[in-house]
Structure 1
Amino acid sequence: MSNNYLDPISRRRLPNYLTGLPSLSDWHQEAACAGFDTELFFPVKRGQAEAAVAICRRCPVVRRCHEHAMQLPESFGVWGGTAARERGWTHAGKRRKFEDGAEAS
């Protein structure tokens, strides 16, 4: 089954494997972070996420953003008011393991 989804920039048809992903377009435009520099939401050092999390606290779509981060999953950055580490990721983008050997879910 072919799709009719076009990339708005290149105007090329998007591959089928991308069209099944949850869309950001239905909610991200309402986000409190819209218009902010994206670097703010992808901190390099531990402790730099506070400013992004503060923006998330006043966001009307914070729950949807967090659900998006958990569904894909987003292994880097602040999504839905949580840093990657809080969502179970290491600084290298790998799932954290707990002392009992289980991976974060």
Structure 2
Amino acid sequence: MNWQRKAACLGAPPGIFHPSVPPRGDPRQALAYCRRCPVIAECAAEALRTRRGSGIVAGIWLCGDRAWPKLLREIVFGHTARKRCVKCWRIIESASSPGTCSLCGFAEIPV
């Protein structure tokens, strides 16, 4: 697991990667690490390998995305150019986006 030494979250408090479910929980602090992480694909691959099913992993809030294994595979294979909520960074399916995030309720979904 040599890749972990290059992770943006190295040294971050582990609790920030397990926030409460919205609307009480705020994942932005943890997701800020993921957004700038140079080893996000390796993180996603490790989460898939270990079948980790909770917390924030590779920029995916696992409690809010039932399709998290598919989303993590997309990150592993470099297919990450998808629209995300600007608050919780959840991937938004363009066909079903009503203008608010179904996970956190944030109303400003980027185009």
Normalised by the length of structure 2, the TM-score is 0.52
Q: Structure 1: which 5+ residue stretches go unaligned?
A: 1-24, 89-105
Unaligned runs of 5+ residues in structure 2 are 70-111
Give the number of aligned pairs.
Answer: 64
Q: What is the one-letter code of the residue matched to 2:32?
A: A
Cross-structure match for 2:100: none
Q: Which has the higher helix share?
A: 2
Map of 2:80 onto structure 1: none
1:44: which partner in 2? 20
C-alpha RMSD of matched pairs (Å): 1.5
TM-superposition CA deviations, 1:38-83 (whole Å, max 9, x none): 0001112324222211210100101110111122211111111111
- With a CA cutoff of 8 Å and minimum separation of 6, indicate the structure with the bigger relative contact order: 2
Select the structure of larger CA radius of gyration.
1
Equivalence map 1:53-72=2 (5 Å): 53-72=31-50
For residue 32 of structure 2, give the secondary structure of its aligned residue in structure 1.
helix
Cα deviation for residue 34 of structure 1 reads: 0.6
Corresponding position of 2:8: 32
